[in-house]
Amino acid sequence: MNTLTSLESQAIRFASKQEWDSAIQTNLQILDQDPENLSGLKRLGYCYLHKGEQKRACEVYTKILELDPYCSIAKKYLELAKSKHTIAGCVSFDSEQFIEEPGKTKTATLARLADASTLQHIPIGIPCTLTVKSHWISVITNAGEYLGALPEDLSHILTKLIQGGNTYSVIVKSVSKAHCTVFIKELTRSSTYQHTPSFPSLTYSSGPQLHEKYLIDDLDDESGDSSDETDQTDETPEDNDSDR
């Protein structure tokens, strides 16, 4: 008999490939061994939602809330399942989504990660949004789940660009219980930053800190706002967990 750890790894792998039937069967095997396994139940409910099986999803999320009444993820997805809306087909993984375009794309490793119970049921290719906070940018799925935050230096750069009118698409590129990377692509560039690439080709190759400083200085000059920037480095993300 497969161990729970082995089955969990299989379930995560199947879900990341959107192989929902296999993921469902594997999670059911986990629940046969441990009927109150919350991680397995969360993954199972998520798979049912993707399959468009709202009734079964409702049953699973209701059981989760019986075990953990404060589980916000279960509450969100139970509401979605009851509304008869489906997320089936909302994630169509295609490796071409991750084609690099000089100056327009960036793969970023997230900091301030969400709990493992959240990350382990997130599939590759799921679309996300960037939410600007006071000192960083949060990455949130379209279903409202917080995944993590962009690194501070990248958050600083993109905050200027987003506030200036640039727009971006974001999708999950890789994910595990303790790691998540996203692929960011510039969609439109505002007139303010018409000649400023979002991700200069040299910025993240050799001498990243030096090039990033030059880009930040350029953005400050263009926006005419250089105040408060030194204050942002004084606060660590952990000092303000509510600002997600």
User: What is the percentage of the chain residues whose pLDDT exceeds 70?
Assistant: 76
Interatomic CA distance for residues 117 and 120, integer angstroms: 6
Asked if residue 146 and residue 201 are part of one domain, the reply reads yes
Q: What is the pLDDT of residues 38-70, one digit of tens each?
A: 989 999 998 898 888 889 999 999 999 999 998
CATH number at residue 18: 1.25.40.10
Split into its structural domains, the chain has a count of 2
Strands 146-149 vs 105-109: parallel, antiparallel or unpaired:
unpaired
Helix (H) or strand (E) holding 16: helix 4-16
Asked if residue 223 and residue 120 are part of one domain, the reply reads yes
CATH number at residue 99: 3.30.70.2330
End-of-domain residue from the set 49, 82, 115: 82
Answer for the pair 197, 103: CB distance below 8 angstroms, yes or no: yes
Answer for the pair 87, 182: CB distance below 8 angstroms, yes or no: no
Is residue 147 a part of any domain in this protein? Answer: yes
Q: What does the pLDDT read at residue 75?
A: 85
Asked if residue 102 and residue 76 are part of one domain, the reply reads no
End-of-domain residue from the set 82, 104, 137: 82
Asked if residue 127 and residue 166 are part of one domain, the reply reads yes
Is residue 203 a part of any domain in this protein? Answer: yes
Cβ neighbours around 165 below 10 Å, total: 12
Q: What is the pLDDT of residues 126-182, one digit of tens each?
A: 889 999 998 899 999 877 889 999 999 999 999 999 999 999 999 998 888 899 999
Answer for the pair 103, 204: CB distance below 8 angstroms, yes or no: no
Answer for the pair 182, 110: CB distance below 8 angstroms, yes or no: yes
Asked if residue 44 and residue 162 are part of one domain, the reply reads no
Asked if residue 162 and residue 222 are part of one domain, the reply reads yes
Q: Which structural domain range is residue 199 located in?
A: 95-230
End-of-domain residue from the set 50, 82, 114: 82
Interatomic CA distance for residues 88 and 83, integer angstroms: 14
Token pair 């794309």 is found at 105
Q: Establish how many alpha carbons lie within 13 A of residue 170's alpha carbon, considering only the half-sphere containing its beta carbon.
A: 23
Q: What is the pLDDT of residues 8-17, one digit of tens each?
A: 889 888 887 7
Asked if residue 104 and residue 57 are part of one domain, the reply reads no
Answer for the pair 44, 28: CB distance below 8 angstroms, yes or no: yes
Asked if residue 72 and residue 163 are part of one domain, the reply reads no
Answer for the pair 191, 222: CB distance below 8 angstroms, yes or no: no
